[in-house]
Amino acid sequence: LGADKRIQCGLELAISLMAPLHELTTPLDKISLLQDVATAINTAVEDGKKKGTVPSSLTLSADDLLPLYIFVLINARPRHIYTNAVLLSYFGGVGLTGSESGFHVANLMAS
């Protein structure tokens, strides 16, 4: 999907976290879940470094994160993903632009 080919790590936790996105009712809960998913992806990459399945010199960039995020979304198959993305872009809170929360919403929209 465009991620660095050297990234070989287990994303099962991120997938299981993403699956119930549609069940959450508030934008804040949804954004919190997206942050947890991004943390799980980062943790999986760090664990891969420790296990030797990801090169220790590799630094996870936004260019690597987006394809991994897409992989997680495809495998998690949350329902109403576009509706959730639009909901978050409109009601995710004031000041999303330039914030960490805004970054996660933008990744969801791009995915």
Residue-wise pLDDT tens digits, 48-107: 888 888 888 878 777 878 888 888 999 999 999 888 888 887 776 555 555 777 777 778
19 pLDDT band (50/70/90 cuts)? very high
Q: Is the dihedral of CA 102, 107, 105, 90 positive or negative?
A: positive
Structure letter (DSSP) for residue 22: G
Query: Cα–Cα distance between 8 and 92 in angstroms, integer?
Result: 32
- What global pTM score does this model have? 0.82
Most distant CA atoms of the chain, gap in Å: 41
What is the per-residue pLDDT for 61? 79
**Look-up of token digits 């198959």:** 77
What is the per-residue pLDDT for 4? 61
